Amino acid sequence: MKESRRLKDLRKQDFAPTVLDFGPVQFILARHFGFCYGVENAIEISYRALEESANKNVYLLSQMIHNQEVNNDLQSRGIKFIMDTDGTQFIPWKKISKEDVVIIPAFGTTLEIEHLLLDKGVEVQKYNTTCPFVEKVWNRAEKLGQENYTIIIHGKPKHEETKATFSHSSHKGHSVIVRDMEEAEKLSNYMLGSKTKSEFYEEFAGKFSNGFDPTQHLQRIGVVNQTTMLATETQAIADFFKQLMIARFGVENLKQHFADTRDTLCYATNDNQDSTYQLLETEADLAVVVGGYNSSNTSHIVELCERKFPTFFINSDSEIKSRTEIHHFNYPRKQKIITHEYLPDKKPLRIVLTSGASCPDTLVDRVMLKLAGYFEPVKTVEEVIAAF
């Protein structure tokens, strides 16, 4: 179905969802969902590393992507994780040697860790799976630093990608991280001089580069992002700072104080998010979003779906226990919960179904078929495909 839609819309101009009609239940699938190029590439490189490294230790710096099913599969094939996503060390650095294979995950890594591995003689580029769009953000951030702009990073400070981007950007220029629009507004107080330098160091502790002086380094700025953040939110933050610079220095001087960085937004994240907005235009009884509970891009899709539908965030079909019981992740509360009678007694029942960029399509298939199996008489997959 995805391939058919791709061939009919090579220029990606149609974001309308696809309806798969099983009779008593209909699934409304997002136009774009699931693995992006960066994730597919990372997983392929990981499998190649295993094939080419017989009798060697094969390590991943941390989770390949934020999907437990994928990470479990890699571990079952013999890959060991050096650390967790929060930086908790599983394998001490002293145990890593130049004879070992180390895979850099799709999020990339910090310059500090890269140099540590190089000092050990580890080949870091052969199995470097860093997403090209993440590297694009790094390159833009480094260029901003070289041009004497301060880099404002829209991202989650503890996320591996944001930590990597901060490492690369602060190597070339002054950098600061904002989590959301609320933090962007807090940062604006220091641009306007309404709060003191000491207040900045306390309020943004752990989120700014060495030597950062808010009285000097917030007059010439550019905004880049963690690629899995909502593109609309990144753009809104950039627009907010742009208007602030116009108000301070005049529109005629804007280019001297604000760099346009719209070209750093990840197309795959944008496609998935734009497709989710189109889902919100349809009528449905509930939404099921499949993906890792610690996946940033998946959580944003959940947030969007929750605006209109009762939404169930699950990591695989195993969370669907029966026709009347589902185990799912309550994202606002950050905890697993159980819901009973989650499928309304209605025919045809319309279910929105989508997934994050770190979720294999096979998981979406399994979720769809498991849910369809609770209804009868239900059309076969062959009948549904023939109608599509």
- In whole angstroms, what is the distance from residue 68 CA to residue 360 CA? 11
CA 375 to chain CA centroid, Å, is: 34
Phi, psi (degrees; rounded to nearest 5) at 346: -150, 145
Q: CA nearest 353: which of 69, 39, 26?
A: 26
Residues 6+ apart with CB under 8 A from 305: 276, 279, 280, 287, 289, 311, 352, 354
Q: How far apart are CA 380 and CA 171, in angstroms?
A: 57
Q: Are 326 and 342 in contact (CB under 8 A)?
A: yes
Using alpha carbons, list the distances in angstroms from residue 165 to 38, 125, 283, 375.
16, 17, 39, 47
DSSP labels, 200-212: HHHHTTTSB-TT-
Indicate if 40 belongs to the active site.
Answer: no
One of 69, 114, 161, 183 is an active-site residue; which one? 161
**343 and 24 in contact (C-beta within 8 Å)?**
no
Q: Which residues are catalytic?
A: 161
